[in-house]
Amino acid sequence: MAYLFHQDELPRLVSVTPGRERVFFVNKELAGIDAMLAGIMRYKKGASSPYHFHENCEHFYFMLEGTATVETPEGVRNVKSGDMIFFPAEEKHRLRATESLFYFEFQAPNRFKTTILDGTPDDLLWERVDGKIWVQS
């Protein structure tokens, strides 16, 4: 059976630290699998992730709209719509929006631990806003 979801019908997760929002299309609760995690992210201008890495997880961003910088141990690079960024497992990284940003995120497998290197534990906290399809029980 195929699944069809529209972003406006799914729950949003809003970061406790301001400026970030995500909507998952594939996760264990929604699709019943933990082999991957996929969805869209929105950052307001100036918003950023903490400098962090994921154990046991390959991580991709596909930039749909906007511009940002990506920080890794090799330095800081500018990225824009149409760019694909790949982070191997354990690769340290941070994404910072230089203007409003909209991108697709894919992580596999969805059995990983995130370690924050520069930031606070709140950077990993998200508040859930229920949608029409996926309702928290």
Distance between CA 26 and CA 80 in Å, rounded? 24
Distance between CA 115 and CA 91 in Å, rounded? 11
Q: Is residue 42 part of a domain?
A: yes
The total domain count for the chain is 1
Q: Is residue 68 part of a domain?
A: yes
Is the previous residue joined to 109 through a cis bond, with omega within 30 degrees of 0? yes
Domain CATH code at residue 69:
2.60.120.10
pLDDT for 137 equals 38
Q: Is residue 2 part of a domain?
A: no
Distance between CA 3 and CA 1 in Å, rounded? 7
Q: Is residue 10 part of a domain?
A: no
Query: ∠105-106-112 over CA atoms, to 5°?
Result: 115
pLDDT for 126 equals 87
Distance between CA 117 and CA 137 in Å, rounded? 33
pLDDT for 3 equals 73
> Residue 56: which domain range?
25-129
Q: Is residue 1 part of a domain?
A: no
Q: Is residue 120 part of a domain?
A: yes
Average pLDDT along the chain, 137 residues, taken 10 residues at a time: 78 91 86 88 96 94 98 97 96 97 94 90 86 51
Which 8-state DSSP code applies to residue 30? H
Q: Are 99 and 48 in contact (CB under 8 A)?
A: no
Q: Are 20 and 12 in contact (CB under 8 A)?
A: no
Q: Is residue 6 part of a domain?
A: no
Task: Please indicate, yes or no, whether the overall pTM of this predicted structure exceeds 0.75.
Answer: yes
Neighbours of 66 (CB within 10 A): 19
Q: Is residue 65 part of a domain?
A: yes
